[in-house]
Amino acid sequence: MGVAVQPMMQAIAATAWGGPEVLQLVEVPVPSLSLGDVLVRVEAAGVNPTDWKSRATGGRKFWRDPAILGFDIAGVVEAVADGSNLLSCGDRVFGMPRFPLPAEGYAQYAAAPARQLARMPAGLTFSQAASLPLAGLTALQALEEAGKLKPGQSVLVCAAGGGVGRLAVQIAVALGAVVTACARAERLGDAATAGATVVEAAHDGTPAIPSRHDVVIDPFGGERTKALLDWCAPGGILVSLIPRTDPAVKDAARARGIVLRRVVVEPSGAGMERIAQWVEKGRLRSHVALALPLTDAAQAHRAGERGGLDGKIVLQPWHRSRGRTAEGMEP
């Protein structure tokens, strides 16, 4: 009998840790499935700050060889492992599987636990879907799990024009909160459309107009976390999206009766299903600024690190066009 040949695929891997030039096209075996997994043909992979930060330094020491980046995926189920009963071949799915382990989304195929994915909303393109998981789950878990946000409570979202902030505003409105969004004036349009009160940011990104809120979402850390205590009501909760290192912030918060929490995003199929429902109801909109072929991953990282794009960057393993905006590109 002949030996079965394992099918191969193309992927983008970091051949070393450093600048965007370390991202190279490689050929690797199509991933095998564990119990409960599905094989997803990746049609779009989101590009997040954690991608280029990992590429620059290696980040956590969990990378396989070769180190295939990518945490957000959207695509089509191609195979279903034994024990997986939630999804079927042909389902269009999206999610952030295995995080903080990489989903290895910069590839033509990815293996993922079925319970960490959800079916894509009808009418959503793969690029739009790939822009939502990591940022959307971060926003949802920051508001609902860490912030304990209840309908009618007030919430302040800083950096409301960014990837997480923009979705946090929309999700907070969907949860029934009274939302104040803070960002540069030119980045506040979507927040106002979603129903938030908008406040222009001062030079450091904190609100220029004082107010008090039950929940404050802090994307900054450092000295700006301490400054944001002034916008948190006594008994309120300040949720940081990044680690805090200043003990004085804890002391100041305790003195004011403010609870400090940090959110570390986790994969959640149930969370992705809620995001899909809000999308279908028109309560949540994706924002894709740029879609590039998988082979242009280095260009995508340069664009992300340079900043200034009003929306997310996605990679499309099957796409051949170059340098175009993503909305409406797909069938």
CB 179 within 8 A of CB 185: no
pLDDT of residue 39: 97
Instruction: Quickly list H helices, 14-103.
Output: 49-57
Which CATH superfamily does the domain covering 134-262 fall into? NAD(P)-binding Rossmann-like Domain (3.40.50.720)
User: What are the extents of the domains in the chain?
Assistant: 8-132+286-316, 134-262
Fill in the DSSP letter of residue 185: G
- How far apart, in Å, are the Cα atoms of 192 and each of 97, 274, 305, 308? 32, 22, 27, 20
Q: What is the CATH number of domain 8-132+286-316?
A: 3.90.180.10
Q: Across residues 71-93, what is the average pLDDT?
A: 95
Cβ burial 79-96 (10 Å sphere, 16+ → b, else e)? bbbeebebbeeebbbbbb
pLDDT tens digits, one per residue of 43-78: 999 999 999 999 999 876 678 889 999 999 999 999
pLDDT of residue 310: 86
**Band (222; pLDDT cuts 50, 70, 90):** confident
Determine the Cα–Cα distance for residues 113 and 111; give it in Å rounded to an integer. 7
- How far apart, in Å, are the Cα atoms of 66 and each of 9, 73, 143? 13, 19, 36
pLDDT of residue 5: 67
H or E element in which residue 182 lies: strand 178-183
Residue 1 has pLDDT above 60, yes or no: no
pLDDT of residue 245: 67
Return the structure tokens found at 254: 């305790």
Taking the CA atoms of the chain, what radius of gyration do you get in angstroms? 20
Please provide the DSSP assignment of 87-148 as one string. --TT-EEEE-TTTTS----SBSEEEEEGGGEEEPPTT--HHHHHTSHHHHHHHHIIIIIIS-
Q: Across residues 31-53, what is the average pLDDT?
A: 95
Average pLDDT, the chain: 91
Rounded-to-10 torsion of CA 166, 172, 177, 178: 0
pLDDT tens digits, one per residue of 118-149: 999 998 999 999 999 999 999 999 999 999 99
* CB proximity list for 278: less than 8 A, separation 6 or greater: 170, 171, 174, 284
Cβ burial 186-208 (10 Å sphere, 16+ → b, else e)? ebbebbeebebebbebeeebbbe
Determine the Cα–Cα distance for residues 289 and 53; give it in Å rounded to an integer. 20
Residue 317 has pLDDT above 90, yes or no: no
Residue 319 has pLDDT above 70, yes or no: no
CB 327 within 8 A of CB 128: yes
3-class state of residue 265 by DSSP: coil
Fill in the DSSP letter of residue 201: B
Which has more confidence, 46 or 221? Answer: 46
Task: Taking each helix axis as running N to C, give the angle between helix 133-140 and helix 269-280, from 0 to 180 degrees, rounded to the nearest 10.
Answer: 100
Residue 248 has pLDDT above 80, yes or no: yes
